[in-house]
Amino acid sequence: MKILYFIRHAKSSWDDVSLDDHDRPLNKRGQHDGPVMARRLLGINVAPDGLLSSTAKRARQTASYFKDVLSVEDAIYLKELYHAWPPAIEAQIRNLPEEWETVLVFGHNPGYTDLANQLQNDLYIGNVPTCGIIVAGSDVTEWKDFTLADAERIAYLYPKQTE
């Protein structure tokens, strides 16, 4: 079974309005929530083979917390994941290295909320909050066969659950 952890970037800063959206960093809350959620995955023995992330600064910063805490060696950063919608995210997942079984995927809303609700599960999610995690499982043996429609949402984690 292939397992994906779709992680929305942590809370970003709007302090410098002159920054391009792609270049906005995390704010203090984001700098707090990133490591907390990474340790939460560590606490449930998540062992990712690699990570896939948007190139946006806030997504890369969030990914770096998970990369460090979970000792992830391999990472792929793609501009195509910046504010991507589910079809674009799905297309990038199909290109993942076949040896990766468990993958962290860092991205943005509104695409992640839409993605969460495309996965098989009866629970509707109105909004994936910053640093929220949607866990999905798929019975495919090769990433090239992955589809969101055939994957199942098996968990939904977010920072306020730990406060």
Tell me the CATH number at 78: 3.40.50.1240
Q: Quick one: pLDDT at residue 161?
A: 85
Maximum separation of any 2 CA atoms in the chain, in Å: 45
> If pLDDT is split at 50, 70 and 90, which confidence band does 48 have?
very high
Q: Please give the share of the chain, as a percent, with pLDDT higher than 70.
A: 99
91-149 pLDDT per residue, tens: 999 999 999 999 999 999 999 999 999 999 989 999 999 999 999 999 999 999 999 99
Instruction: Identify the domain containing residue 94 by its residue range.
Output: 2-161
Q: What is the mean pLDDT of residues 61-65?
A: 98
**81 Cβ partners below 8 Å, 6+ apart?**
52, 53, 54, 55, 59, 88, 89, 92, 105, 106, 107, 108
Handedness of CA 155, 119, 82, 15 (dihedral sign): negative
Q: Quick one: pLDDT at residue 43?
A: 95
| Residue 75 near residue 44, CB atoms below 8 Å | no
Number of folded domains that form the chain: 1
Burial tier of 66 (Cβ tally within 10 Å: 0-12, 13-18, 19+): buried
Rounded to two decimals, what is the model's pTM? 0.96
Q: What is the mean pLDDT of residues 71-87?
A: 98
Say how far residue 38 (Cα) sits from the centre of its chain. 11
CA distance 29 to 130: 10
